[in-house]
Structure 1
Amino acid sequence: MQWFAEQFEANRPHLRAVAYRMLGSLTEADDALQEAWIRTNRSDSRTISNIGGWLTTLVGRVCVDMLRARQSRRESLIGTWLPEPVVSTDGKLDPEQSSLLADSVGLALLVVLESLEPAERLAFVLHDMFAVPFDEIAPIVDRTPEATRQLASRARRRVRGTTTNSNADLPTQRRVVAAFLAASRAGEFEDLINLLDPDVAFRVDTGSRTWLAPALLTGATEVARHASAHGPRFATLCQPALVNGAAGIIARTRSGVVAVVGFTVIDERISEIDLLLDADKLAGLTISE
């Protein structure tokens, strides 16, 4: 038991990174690690030759179970689902955040991963992000290694067919986001149009609560119209932040953080805006400051 505890703690940063990519939630990732730890109590260490790989697949199995259970609860969701972000306001990531966000795990990528079936997501995350062989993944999803390879291939095509990360450097991202915030604060419709990609997507996660916000807007005109109408009041609450390693903003009132916004910047224009208003997710955030 002591050996399991030592190995689990040594592998915890890696396991938490696996669970975050699988679940898109730090809260649920910690729950997954707790469940995985409980399951180690029912295991025989003498049968394990590679403890790191064994723990990785164990956490993957727990996450698949959680994803399947979560799908059945989605009926209560009113708007778009967004992942639980990793947020910093001091302009840099701490070592734990850097570990979580290695390989540019932005909000947009996690949104795409959420569109995959649990088995596809597992095959892609474990193989493509953590180099776990297909013959080790296959038993988790009750497939052959070849069928598991096909799951990962389908997931890979979905990910590659979608913009998931900014292609601009961080200073450029910050400049574009700052200009967007200034134009929103001033209600400058034309300036907003010039900052937005023509096919920009604006997603809003309100959780299970009703909110006067659209679940999804697409196109520069619709997004600029919404930002110019609602931005002047909202923008006064905002400050710059890093959201999953990219330029973003948070909004605060006296009661605390009321919104987190992530941006994807492509060719110096904003192609995606992800606005998190879910009070439950916001209450669980740990913001590095």
Structure 2
Amino acid sequence: MAVPEADAAKAALFDEQRPRMLGLAYRMLGSAAEAEDAVQDAYLRWNAADTAAVRVPAAWLTKVVTNLCLNRLTSAQATRESYIGPWLPEPVLIDDGALGPLETAEQRDSVSVGVLVVLERLTPPERAVFVLREAFGHTHREIADLLDVGEDHSRQLLRRAREHVNAPRRRFAADTAQQRRIVERFFAATVQGDVRALERMLAEDAVAWSDGGGATRAARRPISGRAKVARYLAAVAALPEAEGLRAEAAEVNGESAGVLRIGGELIGVVWLEADSGGRVAAVRAVLNPGKLAYFASQTGTGAHGDADGAPAD
């Protein structure tokens, strides 16, 4: 049966806005799967709405998606408090345009893992204002309309959000080629179990986080200190079940990361954050198979379902 012309136009308009909505939802939630669910919920509302009365569809959809994400963030806070081990964002490839525009440094930075981790510390309204302003360039008047707040309150929320985002970051201003070399050297030393080489590359106060979510064995608390982090990484690579471990550098969330595979199966994505001296200060590893599913679908590879036996802290 043919689709009515008005319905087809309605669906086409939604599809045109989909990348932007998915990008907004991912930045708000830190989860590609949850972002897709929020966008699907927005579609159901759009499909049921009298769109002839909608003056600016993009603004209408932005408001719907933002409010859906605010509701999800409120409930997610309780879920993440009971999450087994550290919680990290889901890895995504961003250069295919699936997450909306990425022309500016602010747009790309807002999907980096370092920023997404810090955004978890914000209140849902602070996170919404930061994303709408920094990643999508909305004015405070527009944000006030989207969130049903005053413009002054929007500015206060953004100021608080920026204080959180900017204060703890110690990023090393390396170009893409330099980032890739750091990643390649670091994971070559890891796979070889070269503790001394790892220690030379790690900052004295380096911290490693492993997100296994209880679905695979991983350290359930952050590991701190150069020597401890180096020994932990070398011990993981030396496990019998890690035989055949391969690490390749790739652009994930707009920055160089190590993509880990065994026998072609994806088992993890690891980001490194360097300090001002170029030493690795933070190691963030997503090992939870559920969190790797979206990235695996983007790369056309399977995600490993279970990996028992990794050292737990």
User: TM-score, normalising length from structure 1?
Assistant: 0.87
Change in CA separation of 1:254 and 1:191 when aligned onto 2, cut-off 3 Å = closer
**Using the alignment, how far apart are the partners of 2:64 and 2:168 within structure 1?**
29
**Using the alignment, how far apart are the partners of 2:33 and 2:270 within structure 1?**
19
Note if 1:271 corresponds to 2:277: no
Note if 1:281 corresponds to 2:283: no
State how 1:117-136 maps to structure 2 within 5 Å: 117-136=123-142
**Which residue pairs with 1:169 in the alignment?**
175
1:59 positional shift: 1.0
**Which residue pairs with 2:34 in the alignment?**
28
* Structure 2 gap segments, 5+ residues each: 1-5, 301-313
State how 1:56-95 maps to structure 2 within 5 Å: 56-87=62-93, 93-95=95-97
1:69 positional shift: 1.7
Report the 3-state secondary structure (helix = DSSP H, G, I; strand = E; otherwise coil) of the residue aligned with 1:72.
helix
**Using the alignment, how far apart are the partners of 1:165 and 1:146 within structure 2?**
31
Change in CA separation of 1:87 and 1:47 when aligned onto 2, cut-off 3 Å = closer
* Structure 1 gap segments, 5+ residues each: none
**Using the alignment, how far apart are the partners of 1:99 and 1:164 within structure 2?**
26
Change in CA separation of 1:84 and 1:126 when aligned onto 2, cut-off 3 Å = same
Note if 1:103 corresponds to 2:114: no
Note if 1:262 corresponds to 2:268: no
Report the 3-state secondary structure (helix = DSSP H, G, I; strand = E; otherwise coil) of the residue aligned with 1:260.
strand
Describe the superposition over 1:186-221 as per-residue Cα deviations: whole angstroms up to 9, x where unpaired. 333332122112232211111134624243123323
RMSD of aligned residue pairs (Cα, Å): 2.6
1:117 positional shift: 1.2
Query: Quick one: which of 231, 245, 253 aligns to 2:262?
Result: 253
CA contact (8 A) 1:200 1:270 kept: yes
**Using the alignment, how far apart are the partners of 2:190 and 2:221 within structure 1?**
19
**Using the alignment, how far apart are the partners of 1:211 and 1:111 within structure 2?**
21
Describe the superposition over 1:14-51 as per-residue Cα deviations: whole angstroms up to 9, x where unpaired. 11111111111111111111111111234333443322
**Using the alignment, how far apart are the partners of 2:180 and 2:243 within structure 1?**
15
Describe the superposition over 1:47-90 as per-residue Cα deviations: whole angstroms up to 9, x where unpaired. 433222222122111111111121222243111111110149xx
Residue correspondences, number = 285
Using CA pairs under 8 Å that are at least 6 residues apart, name the structure with larger relative contact order, 1 or 2: 1
